[in-house]
Structure 1
């Protein structure tokens, strides 16, 4: 098992130590599940300091998608397929849980690339 060293301020260390002690766990045992949840969030979103930027990006994307759908449904479909591919490549979208990619489906305009 690997070791991870992080720097935290004294007040945070004190609060974590108290919580770990109250749970009758070592600091590592107490913090490890939190780190695992951040690495493998399951169906939950792990909040970060980038949440505000992310929410702006999502709103902008939603507006652009609505405009693209009105002017050209094919462009919107291609953009959504590209976005899903990028999310899958980065591990942010599980293909098995993607409602837009049922088994055997090939993304729009991708037949010639495969």
Structure 2
């Protein structure tokens, strides 16, 4: 079963941290990422780039667009392979965003994910 992990944070607080603090965060996340990859449980990993999002909505039978985001607190996503929700929570709880960074508003949301793969 696959699980989507949304890594949330307070964007305003995160933008004010020093370069050395950012370096420490990356240094803490790197071993977790490597271990997760080695375990075979990491399916996809990515960081969202803020400030470049577009929202598409249906309006009067047409698609409208606007700049902005609906996921303003999401900074990264992981897709994990796990036995069940408890296993996914266990794996996600090892991520630094679930253990540190309280002052940055870090949190990890874990949700079951039904994936549909289409390949030519």
TM-score of the aligned structures, taking structure 2 as reference length: 0.30
More relative contact order in 1 or in 2 (CA 8 Å, sep 6+)? Answer: 2
TM-score of the aligned structures, taking structure 1 as reference length: 0.31
Q: Tell me which structure has the larger Cα radius of gyration.
A: 1
